[in-house]
Each structure stands twice: as C-alpha cells, then as structure tokens.
Amino acid sequence: MWWEPRARQYRSFISPKLPFIEIKTGAILNDKIELQKRARELVRWMILRMLYAGRPGRVSELIILRVLKSLDFDCKLDDVRQDMDYMRSVGLAEAGQDNLRGWWARLTALGIAVVEYGARTPSGIGHPEDDAVPKVAYG
C-alpha cells in the first residue's frame, strides 16, 4: 500500500528514541519513589523525636498529626497510624488504642537509645547522619 514505506520509515525513525524515553520515564519514576521513601523515613524520625519529647507519658496520634502538619508534611491520620505500627513492629515504640482518644504511642528503651544515638537505627527510619552529630571528647 501507499502508506507502508512511510510507516516503516517512521517506525525506524522513532525506534531508537523509545528506549531513551523508557529509560527517562523510569529514571523519573525511580526519583519520585526515592523522594517518597526519604519523606516517609523523615516522618518516622520526626515521630520518634516527638515521642521522645513526650516521654515518659504517651503521645496521641492527633498531637503527632498536628505537629507534622505544622511542619508542612503532607500526612493523614492513616499515615501516622502506619508509621506508629511500623515503629511498634521493629520495637522502637509501644502503641495502643483508647476508646475515646484514639491511638497513642510511647517509646521503648530501644527507641530512646536510637533517638539518643546510643543504638543502631533500623532500616526505614531517616536517622540523621552520625557526622552531623558533634563529637564530644571525654577524659
């Protein structure tokens, strides 16, 4: 047919570009996923810091949510609950539910050690680099 040579010609023209487009799209997607992962890890670190500030008592999920929103994090109550559950599953916090007040959390001994840089941080929590912490010479 009359359009076949042109279609073949067009196909050969764009075929070298397709892998580039796929790689470019994949790179953008990977960057977006990496950015979301880092934001989630930072939110978990901020929640640990809030629980540390509220110790020895419990901290309500609503207080955590308000503080995160005031720091311009785009979080919902379900996100806070998921992060609290994650920290409970790795042993950094105890979490529970009151019938009237909703969910609450409190740091465990391991959680306190992580916030005070005395223990290793589990993966999934955006712990600041050890180089950012000033070293104090004792003795």
pTM score, whole prediction:
0.70
Q: In degrees, to the nearest 5, what angle opens at C-alpha 45 toward C-alphas 44 and 46? A: 90
Each of the 139 residues of the chain gets a pLDDT tens digit; together they read 444 454 444 444 444 444 444 445 556 767 777 888 888 888 999 999 999 999 899 999 999 999 999 988 888 999 999 999 999 999 999 998 888 778 899 999 999 999 988 888 888 888 776 544 444 444 4
Show the tokens assigned to 93: 């916090």
Residues 6+ apart with CB under 8 A from 86: 44, 124
Ordered domains of the chain (ranges, CATH)? 40-132 (1.10.10.10)
Q: What is the biggest distance separating any 2 CA atoms in the chain, rounded to whole angstroms? A: 89
How many Å apart are CA 66 and CA 17, to the nearest integer? 47
Residue position matching structure tokens 């009151």: 98
Q: Which of 63, 55, 127, 65 is nearest to 90 (CA)?
A: 127
